[in-house]
Amino acid sequence: MPERVTLFEVGPRDGLQNEARAIATRDKIRFVDLLSATGLRKIEAASFVSPRWVPQMADGAQVLAGIRRAPSVSYAALTPNLRGLEGAVAAGADEVAVFASASEGFSRANINCTIDESLARYREVAEAASAAGLPVRGYVSCITQCPYDGTVEPQAVRRVAAELLRLGCYEVSLGDTLGRAAPGEIDRLLRCLLAELPAARLAGHFHDTSGQALRNVEVALEAGLRTFDASVGGLGGCPYAPGASGNVASESLAARLAELGLETGIDPARLAEAGAFARTLRSGA
């Protein structure tokens, strides 16, 4: 039996949140429906964040209400606080995600609080999610570099990742938010993290600004990680990380994993179809 790797599709969330043009809710629904037919088991479909901060994601509840749910798929939503969690629960998200930063500058810019304030808030979110029966995923952004503070040390990432696991996250996704991490930096980071944390509880979330994201996935695979975030069509970016490009493209990642003899359960033709549709949603398309 080939070894299985989970591809966590974040296109409808990370992919679309950065698009300047308003995207119709029906197009977002069609996008998620196309993804649901690919064999993916994890799709981040919405954000319940402040519409003042990220206007593009204001229709998360309508998106979750409109999609045709595949029983094998877990539909995830970002929740920055208890209000977001309430929205996600009401909309029927299957799991939620909290998102912290390893650097203070990005924490302030993205969620308007310090790292420690965010972790205290996420403890409450995780407790409420657990009471509602929802699994919680965690993100740590800026794992090697921050757009505001510069270089980020591995120990800072380890502290935040360990705390997210302690407060109840089933997995922590490691975000190279700027997409400029070199494979050697990812290797150094993972050596530091894996001294304390199990590989099975970590995932990779590599933006691809420098074109190294696939190589970074390979470094992480060698270190034992088996879950990777990706966006079809390579869409994505964070409005509060200027200059960053999209996530590693799901199509390229699925193809590379297949070449390596790893099983994802994804149908490449259907993924390509979803990717082609995603590209039509892009500004300027």
Please list the active-site residues. 238
237 neighbors 246 (Cβ within 8 angstroms) = yes
Q: Which does 49 bind (CB under 5 to 8 A by kind): Mg ion, ligand HMG, none?
A: ligand HMG
Binding of ligand HMG by 205 (CB under 6 A): yes
Shortest Cβ 169–ligand HMG spacing (Å): 13
Q: Which does 62 bind (CB under 5 to 8 A by kind): Mg ion, ligand HMG, none?
A: none
CA quadruple 266, 267, 268, 273: dihedral, nearest 10: -110
Binding of ligand HMG by 15 (CB under 6 A): no
Shortest Cβ 177–ligand HMG spacing (Å): 3
In degrees rounded to 5, what are phi and psi of residue 19?
-75, 125
Helix (H, G, I), strand (E, B) or coil at 96: strand
Shortest Cβ 189–ligand HMG spacing (Å): 13
x-or-dash string of contact with Mg ion, 8-27, rule CB under 5 A = ------x-------------
Pairing of strands 95-101, 74-78: parallel
Q: Which residues contact 67 (CB under 8 A, 6 or more apart)?
A: 29, 32, 33, 36, 45, 75
In degrees rounded to 5, what are phi and psi of residue 76?
-105, 155
- 133-192 positions binding ligand HMG, by CB under 6 A: 139, 141, 175, 177
For residues 224 and 134, give the distance between their C-alpha atoms in angstroms, rounded to a whole number.
26
Binding of Mg ion by 208 (CB under 5 A): no
Nearer to ligand HMG (CB atom), residue 70 or residue 186 = 186
Binding of ligand HMG by 108 (CB under 6 A): no
Shortest Cβ 285–ligand HMG spacing (Å): 21
Binding of Mg ion by 176 (CB under 5 A): no
Nearer to ligand HMG (CB atom), residue 39 or residue 179 = 179
Binding of ligand HMG by 14 (CB under 6 A): yes
Residue 215, phi-psi category: left (phi > 0), alpha (psi -120 to 50), beta (remainder): alpha
208 neighbors 217 (Cβ within 8 angstroms) = no
Place of tokens 């996530």: 247
> Which residues of this chain interact with ligand HMG, rule CB under 6 A?
14, 17, 47-54, 78, 80-81, 83-84, 87, 99, 110-112, 139, 141, 175, 177, 205, 207, 238, 240
> Which residues of this chain interact with Mg ion, rule CB under 5 A?
14
